[in-house]
Every structure is written in structure tokens, then in C-alpha cells.
Amino acid sequence: MAIEPYAWLEQSLATISRANWFRSVQTIKSLPGAVVQLEGRDVINFASNDYLGLSGDCRLIEAAVAATKEYGTGSTGSRLLSGNREIHRKLEQAIASLKQTEDALVFSSGYLANLGAITAVVGKRDLILADQYNHSSLKNGAILSGATVVNYAHLHLEDLHKQLAQHRKNYRRCLIATDSVFSMDGDLCPLPEILAISEQFNCMVLIDEAHATGVLGATGAGCVEHFGCTGQTLIQVGTLSKALGSLGGYVAGSTTLTDFLRNRAPTWIYATGLSPADTAAALAAIEIIQQEPNRRTQLSKNADTLKQLIIKQLPQLKLLPSESPILCWQLDSAADALAVGKKLQAAGIFAPAIRPPTVPSSRIRLSVMATHELAHLQQLVDALANIVHELMNNQQ
């Protein structure tokens, strides 16, 4: 009997749909910003990682155009072969200067930076201690490395300590890996305490600053700066695609680390160098975040204002704890989260539902931008209030 080898795809999709986990895309037809045109109408954008509003900034666009004219559209090969340009090095020096590290290495995405760094520094004889809510790139990097992976409970220092006391002695090297700002929750890892534990158990620490770079710290260097840990030996990974408004990723740390990664990180060695346009846009963004700290101040002001408005006007709305511009409203089911996302969109607010398997419990994720105006925040709160009252009436 002939077996149809792809038949399982449809069955699997049907299962995904039944659980309300089916995903599809929506198309934006305008420049990125606090207001975007989505499916033919203007909506206030609470779905973007463009925290500082830089990805539509004319200075980034001009830098990308100029680099494309000078170097072409693609970098044509691995950095080790034909793909290296002066502008890559300039960007790496700018990242190292922002992070106050000896050096930095640019990858083609933040995802690839995590895969590359983790698979380079640990292997089969080693141990990874990972926060259970780490981003997919940290989780898959850990699996790909072949190291033994032990998850500790989210932000739970006692659990981290307990697991290390139990397992550390059986392994050669150990890496503690954590998001700095957790992307789907908005809370922060307790970095100083993690560094203290890492010293006690002779572990390396890798921190993913994807949602903190440009957002936290006096100069926008991230969670490491926010906690006063600048200059400590650790592996800092991040992306150029969120507050920096471009595309690409990086690892920042010691010169020894970046030299090692140039020789051992497969996602750097065997992938095409970042495009000239993305590289130039990220470089322009770093200059702007250093010259315009008011963007960061405004972002933090906007996030605080939104939290206060929700706490005052909607005390019944279950917000997850957050110390960042990411605010999450936890809902009971994927179906509820989808329905709320649709109602928000109908009210002119773009804030999509985040569902399993991305997160353990469904939620609406609200991402605040420096370029949101007070009226945008108030319009969001008004829309939320209408939905909360509707839900309460339905329950009675």
C-alpha cells in the first residue's frame, strides 16, 4: 500500500488549529512607527520591538542606502572569505564601546549569535544551567551544543544554586544562560546574584540582552549596565533588530572570546556576513542612542505611565510583573487571548496574542515605544477597559 509521506502535515496542522495555536501573518503597509497601517487601516502599534522608534528614522534609512550604494546589497560570503567589509569592524567597535567590552563580533541575527556562542563554548562534556523561560535561541543553542541542559525555575536563585550543587561536579565546563529582559514576560534576571553564584561554582555566564540594549542602563548598554556589572567577565549576546532598528546580532566580551568565536562559532564561520545596509543602519542607531538619551528617558516614562494608567483604571486586569517596556496581560486560554487580540485590533490597537508553545500561558503582549504619545496610551487603556467590562458582563 502506498503511503503518502506528507499526509501527517495536514493532521498536525488540524491539531494545532484545534488548540487555537495556529499562526498566520498580518501585513503592515507603512514605515515602522507608533502608528502603522495594518490590513488597510491605521492602528496604534503595541506589537513592535522597535522600542526607540529608530527603524523608520531617516538617518538609519540614509545610512543603509549609502552603504548599499558603496558596497552593494549583499556581502557575498562568509566574513572569513569574501564577506568582510570595513563597516563590519566599525560596527563591532561601536558595540564594544557601548558595552564597555574589549571586543564584539557581529552575526547575521541574534538567533544565530546565540546558537553560535553556545555551541562554541560548551560541548558534550559540559553543563548548561538555563532559566526555564529563556528565548528559543538560547534553548536551541543549548540542545545543539550537546551539553547536558538543566533548567532552573524562572528567576529562582535557590533552584539555580541547588542544581549547581547537585550537578556541577560531574561536568568539565558550565555555562549559566539567561535572557536579561525576558521577552514574553518583561521581567529582569537578577544578574549580580547570578554572577556571584557563577563564581562560587566556576561557571561562565551568557546573558541575552536582546530586549535591554538601547533600553536599560544609563547609556543604553543594557541590563549589565543597569545592574552596575559593566566590566565583569561574561558573554553578552544581543540583537541589532529591536531598539537598534536594523537586523543582525552580536556577541560582546573579551578579545579572547571573540577570537575564539571567529574560529569556533559555526553560525559565524559558515554564514554570509551581515548585509552592508543592515550593518550601516545598526551603526547609525548606536550613534543615535548615545547622542539622544532622551529617547530612552521617554521610553521609560511611557512604560511607567502605561503601567500607572492600567493599575489605576483597570485594577482587575492581571498584569505580569515587569521592569521593562514589555507589559503582559495574562489570560485564561489561547482562545481568550485570540479574541482579545481581535477586539483590540477592531478598536485600532495592534497588540497580538502570544500563545503556547511560545509561552506557558496565553497573554496579550504590549510593547511600549519612546514614540508613543500620551493619547496612544490612553486609547489603549480605554480599549482594554471596554474589553474587560465586556468579559466581566459575559461571565455574569
The answer to whether 32 touches 247, Cβ cutoff 8 Å, is: no
Q: Which residues does residue 149 pair with via DSSP β-bridges, in sequence order?
A: 128
CB 334 within 8 A of CB 21: yes
Which window, 105-113, 220-228, 255-263, 368-376, contacts ligand PLP (CB under 6 A)?
105-113
Long-range contacts, stretch 330-333, CB < 8 angstroms, 24+ apart: 330/361, 330/362, 330/363, 331/361, 331/362, 331/363, 331/364, 332/362, 333/20, 333/362
Nearest C-alpha neighbor of 217 from the set 292, 326, 293: 293
Residue from 135, 139, 296, 365 that binds ligand PLP (CB under 6 A)? 135
Q: Which residue is nearest to ligand PLP (CB)?
A: 110
Instruction: Tell me how far, at minimum, the Cβ of 391 lies from ligand PLP, in Å.
Output: 29
> Coil, strand or helix: which one is 389?
helix
Of residues 57 and 208, the one with the C-beta less far from ligand PLP: 208
**Binds ligand PLP by CB under 6 A, chosen from 75, 101, 109, 119:** 109
If binding is defined by CB under 6 A, does position 131 make contact with ligand PLP? no
Among 239, 258, 298, 322, binds ligand PLP (CB under 6 A): 239
CA distances from 9 to 20, 79, 137, 315 (A): 17, 37, 24, 43
Closer to ligand PLP at the Cβ: 237 or 377? 237
Whichever of 252 and 387 has its CB closer to ligand PLP, that residue is: 252
Residue 239 or residue 258: which is nearer to ligand PLP going by CB?
239
Q: Does 241 bind ligand PLP (CB under 6 A)?
A: yes
The answer to whether residues 276 and 68 touch, using CB atoms and an 8 Å cutoff, is yes
Number of chain positions touching ligand PLP (CB under 6 A): 14
One of 46, 51, 111, 171 touching ligand PLP (CB under 6 A) = 111
* Nearest Cα to Cα of residue 142 among 161, 104, 116: 116
Cα separations (Å) of 176 from 134, 196, 253, 299, 306?
11, 12, 15, 30, 33
Piece of 1-9, 53-61, 141-149, 206-214 that binds ligand PLP (CB under 6 A): 206-214
Single residue of 110, 116, 186, 214 touching ligand PLP by CB under 6 A: 110
- Sole residue written with cell 551544543: 145
Q: 165 to 204, contacts with ligand PLP by CB under 6 A?
A: 179, 183
Query: Which residues form the interface with ligand PLP (CB under 6 A)?
Result: 109-111, 114, 135, 137, 179, 183, 208, 210-211, 239, 241, 249
